Chain A
Amino acid sequence: EAGVAQSPRYKIIEKRQSVAFWCNPISGHATLYWYQQILGQGPKLLIQFQNNGVVDDSQLPKDRFSAERLKGVDSTLKIQPAKLEDSAVYLCASSLEGWGWQETQYFGPGTRLLVL
């Protein structure tokens, strides 16, 4: 079974530029998550999709971050404009349902973003 795919793996941009990340979840998984992981910290949830609807985006900085999940499968996360403090690893995860009892999340390899 293929895992969660993410691209690009690395991205270096200047502050105030825009950047987009792509995620393809495990086939059949209804729920998709985007996390931000700053060096030395645990992942922090940015947004959760159930199929193509947003379930939780309470920690998403909506003035600069946006995300969409078209047709309930792939997802993109965009930052516009980027700030220095956005330098982090952006992880995508998926789970079978997301609202069920003790759902396990499976993670992709992440995209490392460096903002200069």
Chain B
Amino acid sequence: EDQVTQSPEALRLQEGESSSLNCSYTVSGLRGLFWYRQDPGKGPEFLFTLYSAGEEKEKERLKATLTKKESFLHITAPKPEDSATYLCAVQARGQNFVFGPGTRLSVLP
């Protein structure tokens, strides 16, 4: 059965304190790994898609990387507006999205 786990469950950072979020997955035939950001009371907002091990993508202070078993979302010099829940989802061959439980990020000024 496809599984997605995320760690840590919650993370509190000071503004400017860089860190990484982890998404570990067990799927057969990965087609894509997706990162979303979800603000309270809103739907998930698409950030990145990663297709194969070794791939990296960047957007502002965020950088996503992918290996054969996990993905990392690196946050460099975060700001309070980066506070949100970050969700990862995997799509296996012939399957629909399976979401992880998310990491709640708080960035304090």
Interface residues of A (CB under 8 A from B): 4, 33, 40-45, 48, 56, 91, 93, 101-110, 112
Contacts and interface: CB of A to CB of B under 8 A. Distances in A.
Contacts of A112: 41
Interface string B27-64: 00001101010000111111001010000000000000
| The 3 residue pairs across chains A and B that have the minimum distance between CB atoms | A42-B99, A107-B43, A102-B32
Contacts of A105: 34, 46, 97
B32 A42 contact: no
Given A91-B44, A104-B46, A43 B99 contact: yes
Contacts of B34: 104-105
B36 to A, nearest CB: 8
A62 B89 CA distance: 25
B19 to A, nearest CB: 20
Contacts of B49: 102, 104
B91 interface: yes
B92 to A, nearest CB: 11
A112 B32 CA distance: 29
B103 to A, nearest CB: 11
Contacts of A41: 101-102
21 contacts: A4-B43, A42-B4, A42-B87, A42-B89, A42-B100, A42-B101, A42-B102, A43-B87, A43-B97, A44-B99, A45-B97, A48-B96, A101-B31, A102-B31, A102-B91, A104-B49, A105-B46, A106-B46, A107-B45, A108-B43, A110-B43
- Please classify how large the interface on chain B is, using the bins under 10, 10 to 19, 20 to 34, 35 or more: 20 to 34
Interface string B70-96: 000000000000000001010100001
B42 A110 contact: yes
B101 A91 contact: no
Nearest to B94: A99
B96 A56 contact: yes
A41 B91 CA distance: 18
A101 to B, nearest CB: 7
B31 A43 contact: no
